A and B are shown apart, each in its own frame.
Chain A
Amino acid sequence: MGGNISTTGPSRPVTQEYRPRPDFFRIACLLASILTITLLAFIVGEILFKAWPAISKFGLGFITGIQWSPNREVFGVLPVLIGTAASSFLALLLALPLGLAIALFLSEDFLPPAIRQVIRFVVELLAAIPSVVYGLWGIFVVIPLVQKYGAVIAAKFGFIPFLAGPAYGNSLLTASLVLALMVLPTITAISRSSLVAVPYALREGSYALGATRWETILSVIIPTAAPGIVASGILAFGRAMGETMAVAMLIGNSQRLSWSLLSPSNTLSALLANQFAEADGIQVSALMYAAALLVMLTLGVNIAGEAVLRRTQKATAGLR
């Protein structure tokens, strides 16, 4: 700018001292941070507050009750809790081996990078498809399939309580199949990053001892990456529990207890999706109570998953 500052004299009075003013931008950023933190507390608090009439009226009987009939003002969510746990667990059971296989496929060099890139793109695309589109697809593809083969299975293996008939299209199994697809990207992404983080020296050591590729994978790479893979499973479980639209469209929304995977069931999130718009009075409170349970469950699962992930990163940090 000016090269002759000293000769032309001061541009402002010398007597004016520099006085630091408060950094308003800093204050705005601080407020935004505080607001973000309080937001979580506000969400939990608001839901608990609106649930309070139901909490004080039904107490723990809400969790152990097996009846949900709004017109008689009887509310119990045990079948829904079981449905939530069962559908998420089944989805995880299906998705974990598949997700791990894809993660290995993406981190090892079985096939040329171009093909791996395609698979990676496909998995990312799976994550981008809206839940409601999965639901629509499930209605027209998965439900007929489950109906067709479910009847065959129920006829042959009906003596096993889990596979007892009659077989419905809108069932726990249908919801779990679609849920498995939806949590696949979560499992793949986290497992892959923990597999890639395994130090290369460990592979080299294993190969040098004469191990084949799969001996190395099974006895060195997977055990080293195991905590990360476990974390991916936990986080995917949390995902599956909170997933709403596809489940609400496929699970059949029945509050009846049943052992069979082929009969309709319900989950907490699907219950909320189906009943909130038309609820009033104590039913709104009961639904808020159910929502509070869902928040607690998913927060618990997510904190556990994050804790495992963080420990893994610390444990392998020294090896890299």
Chain B
Amino acid sequence: MTNTASHSDKNFFSADGKGTSVFRLFRNRFLTGLCIALSLLTLVPLFSIVILVIQNGFPLLSANLFTQLPPAPGMDGGGFGNAILGTLVMVGISLVFSVPLGILAAIFVNEYAPVSWLASAVRFVAKLLTGIPSIICGVFAFAAVVMTTHKFSALAGGIALAILILPTILLTAEQALLGVPYAFREASFGVGATPFQTIWRIVLPEAMPAIMTGVMLAVARAAGETAPVLFTALFSQNWIKGIMEPTASLSVLIYNFASLPYAYHIKLAWSASLVLVALVTLSNILAQVIFAPKHR
């Protein structure tokens, strides 16, 4: 199979059946059919997920879901307004940490010292950070924040999410900066601009749409993640009052309610899934829309 030459020399014209053109054509058609069938097979689970989320999540969907608090176990009614707010707050906190850090590091890697060992180290570490399981971000935030402050908090959850999305932001920002034509920088230096002026006034504005794409992708990722906030922000039945308190999030709400024996809570979990999937898809679509190349 791996050696075409000997295969063709020996078998193509022999009469053992394997080399006949009928067999070869049949095998060709069969494998094509198999390949297409396997590819279409992946549509089945996806359709199943999407249809079930819409089917089970839609009936409860109303304004109350977004404005009310989750019901007590066994009770009906209520919504998950606090969880939506909690998710948004924690994603916001994570952006506050990771966006400046990621973009500044990307600027260093691509603008100031693209071929230094430090730049290779940053790229390598960013690659490794993408491979770290999301729950490890949670474990780290638990060790560094929760065990120090002796409190589950939105801050701890936000920091865990920040570590999770830092590599996404850094690597997409680097690609964005790489996409700015070198002539722009040469022109800027040519009229006497300093490196800072060149980066701040010429390179960054040009790369901004692509950088924002990365940020929106990171938002989508952070909003959907459960593991980092599971035991850092924990959960709360009430509205968020400050960032140093246990905070509800949509994803943890789904996890908690999915295993409860109450029909209404399970319905709420499906509705929360619908809202979460909509939120994540919206961020992903926004990411694609913002990145509209100007020069093409």
Task: Give the B-binding residues of A (Cβ under 8 A).
Answer: 23, 25-26, 28-37, 39-40, 43, 46-47, 49-50, 97-98, 101-102, 104-105, 108, 110-111, 119, 122-123, 125-126, 128-137, 139-141, 181, 184, 206, 209-215, 217-220, 223, 235, 238, 241-245, 248-249, 269, 272-273, 276-277, 284, 287-288, 291, 294-295, 298-299, 301-303, 305-306
Contact = CB atoms under 8 A, between A and B. Distances in A.
Nearest to B129: A40
- The binding surface of chain B is classed by DSSP as helix
A39 B255 CA distance: 29
Contacts of A302: 127-128, 131
B24 A215 contact: yes
Contacts of A210: 8, 12
Interface string B1-36: 111100110001000000000001101100110111
B8 A36 contact: no
B39 interface: yes
B128 A299 contact: yes
A291 B132 CA distance: 11
A295 B32 contact: no
A298 B132 contact: yes
Interface of B: 1-4, 7-8, 12, 24-25, 27-28, 31-32, 34-36, 38-43, 45-46, 48-49, 52-53, 100-102, 104-105, 107-109, 111-112, 118-119, 121-122, 125-129, 131-136, 138-140, 142-144, 147, 152, 163, 166, 170, 194-196, 199-200, 220, 223-227, 230-231, 234, 251, 254-255, 258-259, 269-270, 273, 276-277, 280-281, 284
B28 A32 contact: no
Nearest to A104: B35
Contacts of A277: 152, 230-231, 234
Contacts of B111: 29
A214 B27 contact: yes
A132 B255 contact: yes
B8 A33 contact: no
Contact of B139 (A39, A137, A214, A272): A272
A122 B46 contact: yes
Contacts, number: 262
A2 B223 CA distance: 52
Contacts of A214: 27-28, 31-32
Given A128-B281, A211-B4, A249-B259, A32 B52 contact: no
A184 B49 contact: no
A98 B277 CA distance: 25
Contacts of A291: 135-136, 139
A295 B136 contact: yes
A245 B226 contact: yes
A244 B227 contact: yes
Given A33-B122, A43-B163, 16 more contacts: A25-B200, A35-B101, A40-B128, A43-B132, A47-B136, A47-B139, A47-B140, A104-B35, A130-B280, A132-B255, A132-B273, A137-B49, A212-B24, A272-B135, A295-B136, A302-B131
27 contacts: A29-B112, A34-B118, A36-B166, A43-B136, A46-B140, A46-B144, A47-B143, A101-B34, A128-B224, A128-B281, A128-B284, A131-B224, A132-B254, A135-B254, A181-B45, A209-B8, A213-B32, A214-B31, A244-B135, A245-B251, A269-B227, A273-B135, A276-B230, A277-B234, A287-B139, A298-B132, A305-B131
